[in-house]
């Protein structure tokens, strides 16, 4: 396997974040990192049947979500946006209930959290975001949809159709592609013609922005600018955040079968948490005491969420039938009777 070095940052740049904001976002990134580690452990212990890690993508997720207006905007995630959920204040026990297979899409309230149900369909959240954005505009409101997807999903027809529709109708959407370099086991160069997702934006009549996805400030600034543009009637923007999936695609994946360890080591030097810390130290936004306190605080938060989802009760089996149709259907009633006889 050839070694693929990280690309040199090309890019939308930004100055340091305000100190208070930098400290808040660092805590969110650190909590996400620690909770991700706890979630992997829960899968290894058999509590979760499966889990998808976000390690390495914390800046791309926290930086973009923190730019949103939680009173107006709405995020449409895939199955990997745990740090987006955390940033938007989603009930994280309810979020992780989906990974424990307690409830499809999670047990949190999407309407109050402004975070749509977890979507495991590759490219699936993108047309949903465009539909919501068009509805928001028809209602005379100023909310903007933020749609998350990966570099692999960028090759799906749903994504192309949704971005074309958004461009034609000038929909208020920010498309955030987290290009983590691998579509499961397929590298960028084997599935992205031309090598750039952002470059495709011109074909849909919208700006395409490439940003260093491991630079917290740059992601935040690019997303804030795109949100303001959409809110002012300027239409959609496509942001390609160049980052790296540090862990396997999921807990059932084995990167040693397709990825060179030297590549992983090279990207480890660009760890977004280390870069955020270095930027804060350089700007004087935080000192050693802050980082020590953040470590303890974030670890405690991750452990509380871990314990909460581990102890969450399983939903009643009748939910399989109660939430299918608004009015009872005869065939479903028959299935329920069979199920009740089998579980007695």
Catalytic residues: 245, 249, 258
Buried/exposed 97-114: b ≥16 CB within 10 Å, e otherwise? bbbbebbeebbbebeebb
**C-beta atoms surrounding 195 within 10 Å:** 9
Alpha-carbon span 276 to 205, nearest angstrom: 34
> Token digits for 255?
């990167």
Contacts (Cβ under 8 Å, ≥6 apart) of 170: 233, 234, 235, 236
The DSSP string of 39-76 is HHHHHHTTSSS-----TT-HHHHHHHHTTS-TTT-EEE
Contact of 226 with 237, CB cutoff 8 Å: yes
Q: Is the Cβ–Cβ distance between 145 and 126 less than 8 Å?
A: no
- Tell me the three state secondary structure of residue 209: strand
CB 172 within 8 A of CB 144: yes
State the Cα–Cα distance between residues 209 and 219, nearest whole angstrom. 10
Give the closest residue to 60 by CA, choosing from 280, 209, 249, 282.
209
């Amino acid at each position: 396997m050839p070694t693929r070095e990280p690309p040199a940052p090309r890019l939308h740049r930004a100055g340091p974040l305000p100190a208070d904001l930098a400290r808040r976002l660092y805590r969110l990134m650190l909590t996400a990192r620690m909770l991700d580690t706890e979630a992997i452990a829960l899968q290894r212990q058999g509590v979760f049947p499966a889990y998808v890690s976000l390690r390495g993508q914390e800046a791309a997720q926290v930086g973009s979500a923190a730019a949103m207006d939680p009173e107006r905007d709405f995020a449409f995630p895939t199955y990997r946006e745990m740090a987006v959920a955390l940033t938007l204040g989603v009930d994280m026990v309810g979020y992780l209930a989906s990974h424990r297979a307690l409830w499809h899409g999670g047990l949190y309230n999407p309407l109050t959290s402004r975070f749509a149900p977890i979507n495991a369909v590759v490219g699936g959240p993108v047309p949903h975001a465009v539909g919501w954005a068009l509805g928001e505009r028809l209602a005379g409101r100023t909310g903007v949809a933020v749609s998350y997807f990966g570099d692999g999903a960028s090759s799906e027809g749903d994504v192309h159709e949704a971005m074309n529709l958004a461009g034609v109708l000038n929909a208020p959407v920010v498309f955030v592609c987290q290009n983590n370099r691998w579509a499961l086991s397929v590298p960028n160069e084997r599935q992205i013609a031309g090598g750039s997702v952002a470059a495709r934006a011109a074909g849909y009549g919208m700006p395409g922005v490439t940003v260093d996805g491991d630079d917290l400030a740059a992601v935040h600034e690019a997303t804030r600018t795109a949100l303001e543009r959409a809110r002012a009637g300027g239409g959609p923007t496509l942001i390609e955040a160049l980052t790296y999936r540090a862990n396997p695609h999921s807990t059932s994946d084995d990167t040693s079968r397709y990825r060179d360890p030297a590549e992983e080591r090279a990207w480890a030097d660009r760890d977004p948490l280390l870069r955020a810390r270095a930027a804060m130290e350089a700007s004087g936004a935080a000192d050693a005491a802050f980082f020590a306190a953040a470590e303890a605080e974030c670890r405690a938060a991750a452990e509380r969420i871990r314990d909460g989802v581990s102890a969450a009760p399983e939903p009643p089996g009748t939910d399989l039938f109660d939430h299918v149709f608004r009015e009872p259907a005869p065939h479903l009633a028959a299935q329920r009777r069979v199920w009740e006889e089998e579980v007695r």
